[in-house]
Amino acid sequence: MNAFFDATVALAYKITRGVHKLVLTMFFSGVAICASANEIVIVAFGDSLTYGYGLPTEDGFVPQLEIWLRDRGADVRIINAGVSGDTTGGGLARVDWVLGDDVDAVILELGANDFLRGIPPAVARENLDAIMAIIIAKDLPVLIAGMPAPTNYGAAYKTEFDAIYPMLAEKYRAPLYPYFMNGIVEGHGAADPMDFIQADGLHPNAAGAQLIVQDIGPAVLALISSMD
């Protein structure tokens, strides 16, 4: 799958952060009224992969994951805190206000835009470390979803970038799901993984989001169980 990753670097993300931040602000202002007494609220904190870029709302990662979890008996609501084009630096700038008092846990998925822009791994590591520190300081369980880098910037860059996620998991004793897109890479049977990617070559289509949910879902269930 190196070719799949390498091809993505040549394509630019369409940056729509302003619109998405407005939607998030409107959404967060009213979420509290929907919660049931025992409902677990999870923030899916990430970039366009979390947001569901290019998909109808119901086909995105967050709505599909919420349905998957509820079908398995979890009383859960997932807040979509994905912002298209967000880097780890952008995530750090907004994480504190995203994690309101009603939040019970976090799925952290950031890093793809850093390596697509050639941001030094040390910078991404520092940002993600600071994000994790904020999450842990709020006493919130967190599932780290890794995003391994392509080889376009060389083996040394990839090695340094890929090491960020296991390092954070060890430092903060947090569960690690090594690769957010693993459901597409490994869970497609004999099909071409690109069958589950949109025409931009970057983002999952609805079927791809479903594969991602099926693969990461058990890890999210385990995160929920750890809160009992």
For the chain, the first-to-last Cα distance in angstroms comes to 38
Q: Report the distance separating Cα 169 and Cα 171, nearest Å.
A: 6
Taking the CB of residue 175, how many other CB atoms lie within 10 A of it? 15
The one catalytic residue among 59, 102, 104, 200: 200
Q: Report helix angle 17-28 to 88-98, nearest 10.
A: 20
203 is catalytic: yes
**For the chain, how are helix, strand and coil distributed in percent, rounded to 5?**
55, 10, 35
Q: Report the distance separating Cα 179 and Cα 198, nearest Å.
A: 19
48 is catalytic: yes
Compute the half-sphere exposure of residue 161: CA atoms within 13 Å on the CB side of its CA.
Answer: 28
Cα distances (angstroms) measured from residue 217 to each of 50, 107, 129, 132: 14, 11, 24, 21
Q: What angle do CA 209, 8, 22 make, to 5 degrees?
A: 60
Strands 142-145 and 76-82: unpaired
The one catalytic residue among 84, 86, 114, 203: 203
DSSP state of 205: -
Taking the CB of residue 35, how many other CB atoms lie within 10 A of it? 14
The one catalytic residue among 48, 84, 86, 162: 48
> Catalytic positions, please?
48, 200, 203
